[in-house]
Amino acid sequence: MIACTIAGSDSGGGAGIQADLKTFQELRVFGTSVITALTAQNTKGVHGIYPATADFVKDQLNAVIDDFDLKAVKTGMLFNAEIVETIVSVMESKEIPLIVDPVMIAKGGASLLKEQATIALKEKLLPVATVCTPNIPEAEVLTGLTIKTEEEIELAGEYLLNLGMQCVVIKGGHLAGKHAIDTVFIRGEKPFKMKTDRLKTIHTHGTGCTFSAAITAEIAKGKPLKTAIIEAKKFVQLAIRYPLNIGHGFGPTNHFAYQEHRGICDVQVI
């Protein structure tokens, strides 16, 4: 099975293209990549960003699509509106499931998406997406809502589904509480929640990239949407639970953990 990630490179290896390809590999999916920007980055922060031109992003994507039978494509850091629009122009005519992680701001505070690009992402990319995986601040930007309560999560999920997607996963990593709870909205189905223990750790760099890459890999393998999303939650939970303890800032998650622990992890689906 072959998947593609369209994202930024993280020289520190914990997020972006590197996290995505490691996740694909661990889930036994062949990974291809389209690099939107190089970042000079480590666990302590983003020290520089060097974007690719939109034309070169298009060249990379066409090169991959022309040769490989892609079963799923994901997007991460897209940086500017030209890159977002280029991806839309290529992907809108394709029948390939598209998973959009609407990456906006890095854990250390650096902006990974320009303001104009946020509008293009919402108005042009999300309508052609299959799945979108915002964290709480991203969902707030995309919906214009303040999201603190269950009702506000429900409202945000419905709002985003109405943009045309088949599925929205609002991640609860940024909320407080004993559990990390993500809420899943699938068109035509009753929303459900995935609940795990909230782990006390600073090794959370790239959790969102890893989660959306795992969803992409499972979809590429032909898993139904709900099964793919639950398996991805297990993958990211294990990757956070067994950290590598490397770097001096927000360390990366452990992509080996899923295979080392044979995917055994309790995710309560409620």
Ligand X SMILES: Nc1ncnc2c1ncn2[C@@H]1O[C@H](COP(=O)(O)OP(=O)(O)OP(=O)(O)O)[C@@H](O)[C@H]1O
Ligand Y SMILES: Cc1ncc(COP(=O)(O)O)c(N)n1
Rounded Cα–Cα distance for residues 201 and 186 (Å) = 31
Tokens of 199: 């782990």
Rounded Cα–Cα distance for residues 17 and 60 (Å) = 14
Residues in Cβ contact with 63 at an 8 Å cutoff, skipping those fewer than 6 apart: none
Angle at 19 between CA 206 and CA 177, to 5 degrees: 25
Q: Which is nearer to ligand Y, 157 or 251 (CB)?
A: 251
What is the C-alpha radius of gyration for the chain, rounded to an integer number of angstroms?
Answer: 17
Q: Which listed range, 65-73, 99-107, 188-196, 225-233, lies at the site for ligand Y (CB under 6 A)? A: 99-107
The verdict on 12 binding ligand X (CB under 6 A) reads no
Residues in Cβ contact with 237 at an 8 Å cutoff, skipping those fewer than 6 apart: 180, 196, 199, 265, 267
- List the single partner that 173 binds among ligand Y, ligand X, none, CB under 5 to 8 Å by kind: ligand X
Strand segments (E) across 70-226: 72-75, 98-100, 131-132, 167-170, 179-186, 192-197
> Other C-beta atoms within 10 Å of 164: how many?
12
Minimal CA–CA distance to 267: which of 195, 215, 203, 212?
A: 195
Q: Which listed range, 6-14, 26-34, 79-87, 161-169, lies at the site for ligand Y (CB under 6 A)? A: 6-14
247 is catalytic: no
Q: Which is nearer to ligand Y, 104 or 219 (CB)?
A: 104
The verdict on 134 binding ligand Y (CB under 6 A) reads no
The catalytic position among 5, 23, 75, 207 is 207
- List the single partner that 77 binds among ligand X, ligand Y, none, CB under 5 to 8 Å by kind: ligand Y
Rounded Cα–Cα distance for residues 240 and 203 (Å) = 7
Q: Which is nearer to ligand X, 190 or 200 (CB)?
A: 200
Residues 154-183 as x/- pattern, contact with ligand X by CB under 6 A: -----------------xxxx-----x-x-
Contact 152, 183 (CB under 8 A): no
The verdict on 206 binding ligand Y (CB under 6 A) reads yes
Residues 41-80 as x/- pattern, contact with ligand Y by CB under 6 A: x----------------------------------xx---
Rounded Cα–Cα distance for residues 10 and 210 (Å) = 13
Q: Which is nearer to ligand X, 34 or 103 (CB)?
A: 103
- Footprint on this chain of ligand X (rule: CB under 6 A): 15, 107, 135, 171-174, 180, 182, 196, 198-199, 201, 204, 206-209, 211, 233, 236-237, 240
- Footprint on this chain of ligand Y (rule: CB under 6 A): 7-8, 10, 15-16, 39, 41, 76-77, 103, 106-107, 112, 205-206, 209
Residues with catalytic roles: 171, 204, 206-209
